[in-house]
A and B are shown apart, each in its own frame.
Chain A
Amino acid sequence: MTYVVTDNCRGCRYTECVTVCPVECFHVDEAMTYIDPENCIDCGGCAPACPVGAIEPDYRLAADKKYWIDVNRKRAAETPVISARLAPLPGADERKLALGR
């Protein structure tokens, strides 16, 4: 198994996940973070740390979110590792509210 970042991250990118990842398996682009499934050790620390509930274990994803497993794998291979927290994207707090968080 692995943990997976899903669409709630887009437009927020709080990156709280990065701080608590013990193995630096998060990658980042301009929109969101991705988990490298080859390096994730399934510790589960990131899921409760995410302010917008964007992260789930792969087996727990709803059918219409399963495609994020492949997106994470593909984008993690194409993007750099992020080793320290970034400032959230502009408008992150508004989006968080809109997500009901």
Chain B
Amino acid sequence: MTGSAANELRIAVVGSGPSGFYTTEALLRSGAPVTIDMFERLPVPYGLVRFGVAPDHPKLKQVTMAFDRIAKAPGFRFIGGVKVGDDVTVDELREAYDAVVLATGAELSRPLGIPGEALPGSHSAGDFVAWYNGHPEFRDLQFDLDHEAAIVVGHGNVALDVARILAKTADELRQTDIARHALEVLAESRIREISIVGRGGPAQAKFSAKELRDFLELSACDTAVDGRDVAPDEFEPLNPGDPELIEKLSLLRGFSQHAVTKPRRCLVRFGLSPVAIKGRGRVETISFGQRSGAVEDIACGLVFSSVGRRTTPVAGVPYDDDRGVHANMDGRVANGGSVIEGLYVCGWSKRGPSGTIGTNRGCGIATAEAVLADIAHRRPRTDTPEALLSRVVSRVARIVSYPDWGTIDAAEKRRGAALGKPREKFVTIPDMLAAVDA
């Protein structure tokens, strides 16, 4: 902490994913006398970089080096293991800090909203991702992979992540940081056919060409596009100046012409809207409406829906139900048309789940500008962070600092090294806390 000058601005950031870190960076670099307390409900930071980015995308995870650099700046403090809205309220934070920035992401999966969605075997892709990435709150979910066919509903990058993890052999995943419990289940998987099904045509698919390219390199899985779904001219880009779209359509066209020889296959399907999930006691088929209006039933033992995410509402923060985010006007939390003083949002909990990791950097800069523009008119604090934290410490098992996280991190890397993995994550909170004291 850099002293306690009277003009010092104390800011709480809630959430330690990309948008929380980039807003922190922008505030600390502003030249204003700012200190940041970053609240995180888990003992470990990085949000979706740890629990969302696929284990076989290690290069993307190197972004954590940028987060660690931000965390080393004077004036930064990590307050892990404290859940805002539960262990401490938003109103308590607002009394103790000059500004509170919510960077809480979009954790809730949107439902398909069709009959049969609650049948065993029907899952949300987000839950599966959090499970294979070792999120403590998802670690105990059960995924029964003792079926031949799985269907992923959705055409975004998360849908491709899920399909690719299902398509890979245990040997292709063994040296990633995938959670051990997930690797054990995936190693016993009987899944041979994975359909990735979306409503639109090839040009409407939201996944990126880069994610699609990963399917060229699967050791035991061919990727195919069902020619019945797509008219040949749908592989022609309407905008010839869009290299991303050109590459995506060219990859899909290639998949449509590809011979299928490997033991597993991914089928990318287009123009199909899910109507109902059916089965006696568990998922057996999904009925899809075709563009023609006809209904096609596809047999499967597992469904993963990947049709978007919403921010989890936080007590004391108005919610925008249409957009699925904390209600805000350009980063200022607002109830109807009236701004709630001292309360801000950034990242996915501000603008919804879109963009790449770096999109949150621009978003964080914008929120930081709003915070600093308002702060001259702030109302005086009625509490101090120190007094608040002295009360909070008795409400939680332990407050985890950034050096504590460094201890957990080192322990995970040691466990991983013995297995040829970059790390073996701790997947329960007690195990994380035990590593701090080991």
Name the B residues within 8 Å of A48 (CB-CB).
244
A7 smallest CB distance to B (angstroms): 15
Q: Which of B29, B65, B244, B357 contacts A45 (CB under 8 A)?
A: B357
Known: A20-B356, A20-B362, A44-B208. A53 touches B63 (CB 8 A): no
A interface, over-half SS = loop
Q: Smallest CB-CB separation from B18: which chain A residue?
A: A22
Q: With an 8 A cutoff between CB atoms, is B365 at the interface?
A: yes
Q: With an 8 A cutoff between CB atoms, is B337 at the interface?
A: no
Query: Are A44's CB and B356's CB within 8 A?
Result: yes
Q: With an 8 A cutoff between CB atoms, is A42 at the interface?
A: yes
> What is the 8 Å Cβ interface bit string for chain A, positions 33-45, against chain B (1 contact, 0 not)?
0000000011111
Query: Are B365's CB and A22's CB within 8 A?
Result: no
Q: Measured between alpha carbons, how far is A45 from B362 in the docked complex, in Å?
A: 11
Query: Are A45's CB and B359's CB within 8 A?
Result: yes
Q: Which of A22, A42, A49, A100 contacts B66 (CB under 8 A)?
A: A22
> What is the 8 Å Cβ interface bit string for chain A, positions 1-27, against chain B (1 contact, 0 not)?
000000000000000000111111000
Q: Which of B210, B241, B361 contacts A22 (CB under 8 A)?
A: B361
Q: Which of B62, B241, B247 contacts A23 (CB under 8 A)?
A: B62
Query: Are B243's CB and A60's CB within 8 A?
Result: yes
Q: Measured between alpha carbons, how far is A94 from B66 in the docked complex, in Å?
A: 35
Most B CB within 10 A of own CB, among A42, A44, A47, A48: A44
Interface residues on A, range: 20 to 34
Name the A residues within 8 Å of B241 (CB-CB).
53, 100
Most A CB within 10 A of own CB, among B22, B210, B365: B210
> What is the 8 Å Cβ interface bit string for chain B, positions 227-249, against chain A (1 contact, 0 not)?
00000000000000101100100
Query: Are B63's CB and A43's CB within 8 A?
Result: yes
Query: Are B60's CB and A20's CB within 8 A?
Result: no
Q: Measured between alpha carbons, how far is A100 from B65 in the docked complex, in Å?
A: 38
Q: With an 8 A cutoff between CB atoms, is B113 at the interface?
A: no
A contacts, CB < 8 Å to B: 19-24, 41-49, 53, 56-57, 60, 83-84, 100
B contacts, CB < 8 Å to A: 18, 22, 29, 59-60, 62-63, 65-66, 208, 210, 241, 243-244, 247, 355-362, 365
Going nearest first, the 5 A-B pairs with the smallest beta carbon separation are A45-B358, A45-B356, A20-B358, A22-B358, A19-B362
30 A-B pairs with C-beta separation under 8 A: A19-B362, A19-B365, A20-B358, A20-B362, A22-B18, A22-B66, A22-B356, A22-B357, A23-B62, A23-B65, A23-B66, A24-B66, A41-B59, A41-B60, A41-B63, A42-B59, A42-B210, A43-B60, A43-B357, A43-B358, A44-B208, A44-B210, A45-B355, A45-B358, A48-B244, A53-B241, A57-B210, A60-B243, A83-B29, A100-B241
